[in-house]
Chain A
Amino acid sequence: MASSNLPSLWSGMDRKALAIGEFTLRQQRKRLSTWVVLLVGVAAMGVLTMFYVDAMTRDYEAVDNDGDSYDWDNDGYPNGQEQMHGTNIFDPLDHPGLFDPPIAADDASDWINEDDFDWDALEEGSVGVDDNGDCDTERRTESQKDANGNGVPCDIQIRADRYGQGTFTIESDGNVDEDPDDEAYALEAIHRSFVLAIGKLGVVFLIGIFVPLFMATGLIRNEMTSGTMHFMLAKPIARGEVFLYRLLGFYALAWTYLTALIAALALVAGLMGPGDGLYRFEDLGVWMSVWLASILAITVYGMLFCTLGVMWKHGMVLALPFAAWELGMILTTLGAPDAAILRFSVIGWAMNIVDAGAAMAWQDTPLLIQMGLWGGGNEALEGAEALNVFWSTPGLGLGALGTVVVSVLVLVFQAVACWLLGSTLFKSKEIE
C-alpha cells in the first residue's frame, strides 16, 4: 500500500488540534462574558495608567532641603552664597557685594536643587562631590568638613550594614549632595515604580489570574454540564488531547490579549516617561520580562483552573482560595522576595522573572533607592518609598539570568504537571 498520501500520526494530530483550538477560540469570541472580562482588564489597566500619566505631567515642588536659598537678612544674597563667602547671614550690612571686587548676588533659585547626587555605585567608601562648594568653605573647621570622620573632607561615606543584606549606612560630611533635583528624581522613581507595579500586580497577577479564572475554569466543565462534550468525545480523539487542545484555543486568545495589553502599556509609559529621547528604550527589557512572566503565569493558571473545573462541578470554589493564596504570595514577594514559601506558588516564580528582568535593564535601581531614601540627609525624596516597595532583588541568589532560566523551567514544569493531572482526571471521568 502506498503510504505517501496516508495521513501520518502527526498530521492527524495537528488537524485535530487545529480543529478544537479554532473551535474553542470561536466559541470564546461568541461569548459576551469573554468580552466583558477582557474589557474589564483593559479598563483596570487604563485607570492605573491614568494615575501614572498624571504623575508624569504633574509639577514637583523643588524642595530646598538645606534652606540655603533663603535670605534671612534681606541683603539680596541667599544664605548659601553668604555662607560660602563667609559673610554673616543675619547682618544685612555684611555680604559679598561689599567685597573688592564685589560679587553679584545669585538668584534664590540657584540655591534650590543646587547639589545633585554624584555617586554612581553602591560601593563602600568615599563618594559624593560638593558641587556648589558650600562644604569646603573657609568658615568651616576641619572637623566640620569631615563630620563622618573618614579622613576625607566634604564627601559621603557609604558603609554596608553588617547585618542587613543589601542595606547601607550613608553618612555625609554635611552640605555634600544635600540638595538634589527633586523633580528629576521623582519622575524617574515614579516611572520605574509604575512599570514594576503595573507589570507585577496588574498584568502578571490580576490579568494572569482573573482571565483564566473566568475563561479556563469552564473550558471542559461547561461542555460536560451542558452535554455538548458528548459530540467531541464520540470522535476518535483521546481525552487528554481534547483537554490540551481546548486550552490551546484559550491560550491563543489569552496570549494575544496579554501581548497587546503589554505593548500598549509599554508604548504609553515609554512615551510619557522621563528621558532625553522620544521613547525610553531602556525599559524594553523590563516589559519583555513582564511579557514572559505573564505568558507563563497565565499558562499555568489556565491549566490549573481547567483541571479544577474537571475535578469538581464548582471548580471556581476551588480556584478562589488558590487565587487568595497567590495574592498572599505576591505581597510576600514585595517584602521578602527570597522567602522559601514562595517556591510553593506560581506567582513567586513569575515575580522572579520580572525582578530579574528589571535588575538587568535598570541596574542602578538599588542605588537610586538608597539615594532617594537618604534624600540628601533629610527626608526621603518623592518616589523613593514606592520604588523601594515594588523593586525586589531576584530571590534565588543565582544572578539575574540564572533566575530567569530556573524560573521559566519551574513554571513550564508546573504547567505540564497540571496538564497531566487534568487530563488524567478527565480520562477517568464518567460523562453523564
Chain B
Amino acid sequence: MMPDFTQQGAGEPTPAPNAPAAPVVYFNGVSKSYGRIHALSNVTLGLSGGVTGILGMNGAGKSTLFKLLMGKLRPSAGEVKLFGVDPWKNPSPYAKVGFVPEHEKMHDWMTALEFVSTFARLHGMTRSEAKTEAARVLDFVGLSDVANKEIGRFSKGMRQRTKIAHALVNDPELIVLDEPLQGCDPLARTTIMNVIRELGKLGRTVLVSSHILSEIERITEQIVILHQGKLVALGNLHAIRERLDEIPHTIRIVGDDARSLAKDILSHPAVFGVSFPNETELLIQTYHFGQMHAELPRLIVENGHNVHLIDNPDDDLESLLHYLAGGEV
C-alpha cells in the first residue's frame, strides 16, 4: 500500500490484517527475448511509492521493462504484477496508471486540450468531466495558455508536457515516464523535472527512465540501473557515488599551457598521474574525486593559470556502469 501523503483518507477498502500488500510494481525473474536477443533477463524488482529513476544506456531494456509493465509485451519468463495483477491482456489496473510512452509521434491535428480530454474519456469520464480534468492537468504542466493550439505546432518540450498531462488526467497512483526529458530544451527540462518531483511529493509512485545520470540525479536519489537487459544496481544514488569516489577518476582541463599547469598540480597528494593528449589539454588521474574538485580552483588561481574548461569525462553513466560491472573505470 502507498502511504497516504495527502492525508485525505483514501476511500479504499483496507486489506485483511495478515494479507501482505501488493507492491505497485513487481517483477519476479522477468525475462524478455526476441529470438536470440535478450532485451531483459531475469529482472526481479518491487517498487512502491516515491520517484524511482530507471537508468540505462540505449538498449539497456528500460522501454522493454515499461512495456512489460503496461501489458504491451508478454514476458518470455517470470511474472509481472501491476497493483498485484498481471497486466498482460488485462487493462483493469490501468485505471490507476499514467503512461508517457517514448514515441515522438502524436496526433498532431488535435489541440492539446482535445488530445488530453479524448484520452480522459477512455477512463469513463463524460465529455464535460474530461474537459475539466484536461484543463486542470494542462495547467499543472504549465500549458494552459496553449491548450487550444494544435499539437503539431508545439515544440518538443511542449509535446512532452502534453504527453505527461495526458498521463495525469486520471489522477493516477503510478506514473511511468519513458525518457520524458529526451530532446527537451532546458526550460522544458526544468518544468518536467519539477512536475515529477511534485508528483513524488504527492505520494505517487513515479518511474522515470533516462540514459543521462545528471538528469536523474536532479530528480531523485532512488535509482535502478539496467545494463544489457540485466539489473545491475538498485538503491540510493549517493551510496553508489560514495563508493565510486574510491576508484580512480579522470579530470580533464583545457587551458593555455597544459604543461606548466601539470607541474603545479602534480604536487597535490590526491593526484597520481597526468597525461597530455595535446598542447592545451591535461588529463589528471585521482583517487579522491570530491577533494580534487574542491581544491582545483584554488590551485589554478594561486598559480595564475588561464583555464577554459574543467570537465569530468567519466562522471557519467558509462563509467558508472563500467565500475558496477567490473570495478574499473
Contacts and interface: CB of A to CB of B under 8 A. Distances in A.
Please classify the interface of chain A as helix (H, G, I), strand (E, B), loop, or mixed, using the class held by over half of its residues. Answer: helix
B73 interface: yes
Interface in B53-100: 67, 70-74, 89, 91-95, 97-99
B169 to A, nearest CB: 10
A228 B106 contact: yes
A94 B99 CA distance: 105
Contact of A231 (B95, B97, B101): B101
A295 B107 CA distance: 29
A227 B103 contact: yes
B167 to A, nearest CB: 7
Nearest to B108: A30
Interface in A1-48: 7, 11-12, 15-16, 18-20, 22-23, 26-27, 30
A17 to B, nearest CB: 10
A308 to B, nearest CB: 22
Contacts of A232: 119, 122
A16 B95 CA distance: 13
A57 B94 CA distance: 65
Contacts of B163: 231
A238 interface: yes
B118 interface: yes
A431 B97 contact: no
Contacts, number: 86
A234 interface: yes
Interface in B127-171: 130, 163, 166-167
B99 A430 contact: no
A18 B101 CA distance: 24
A110 B122 CA distance: 76
Contact of B103 (A7, A12, A20, A228): A228
B105 A227 contact: yes
A428 interface: yes
Contacts of B107: 27, 228
Please classify the interface of chain B as helix (H, G, I), strand (E, B), loop, or mixed, using the class held by over half of its residues. Answer: loop
B33 interface: no
A7 B126 CA distance: 10
Nearest to A16: B122
B322 interface: no
A226 interface: yes
B74 A430 contact: yes
B97 A234 contact: yes
A15 B125 contact: yes
Contacts of A228: 103, 105-107
A234 B99 contact: yes
A427 B89 contact: yes
Contacts of A431: 67, 72-73
A237 B73 contact: no
A87 B73 CA distance: 98
Contacts of A26: 109-110
A60 to B, nearest CB: 53
Interface string A301-337: 0000000000000000000000000000000000000
Contacts of A409: none
Interface in B206-257: none
A20 B73 contact: no
A236 interface: yes
A233 interface: yes
Given A231-B101, A235-B94, A236-B95, A15 B67 contact: no
Contact of A227 (B73, B97, B101, B121): B101
A233 B99 CA distance: 10
A428 B88 CA distance: 9
A140 interface: no
Contacts of B268: none
A230 interface: yes
A13 to B, nearest CB: 8
A230 B97 CA distance: 13
A12 B124 CA distance: 5
Given A233-B70, A238-B91, A19 B105 contact: no
Contacts of A427: 89
A234 B100 CA distance: 9
B293 interface: no
A239 B74 CA distance: 15
A280 B101 CA distance: 58
Contacts of A236: 91-95, 122-124
B89 A230 contact: no
A427 B71 CA distance: 10
B103 A226 contact: yes
A199 to B, nearest CB: 36
A236 B94 CA distance: 5
A230 B103 CA distance: 8
A310 to B, nearest CB: 15
A20 B101 contact: no
B107 to A, nearest CB: 6
Contacts of B124: 7, 11-12, 15-16, 236
A30 B151 CA distance: 14
A18, A22, A234 pick with most chain B CB within 10 angstroms: A234
Given A16-B124, A226-B105, 18 more contacts: A12-B124, A16-B122, A19-B118, A22-B118, A27-B109, A30-B109, A227-B103, A228-B105, A228-B107, A234-B97, A234-B98, A234-B99, A235-B94, A235-B123, A236-B92, A236-B122, A237-B91, A431-B73
20 contacts: A15-B125, A19-B118, A19-B130, A226-B103, A227-B103, A228-B105, A228-B107, A230-B70, A230-B99, A231-B101, A231-B106, A233-B91, A234-B70, A234-B167, A235-B91, A236-B91, A236-B95, A430-B73, A431-B67, A431-B73
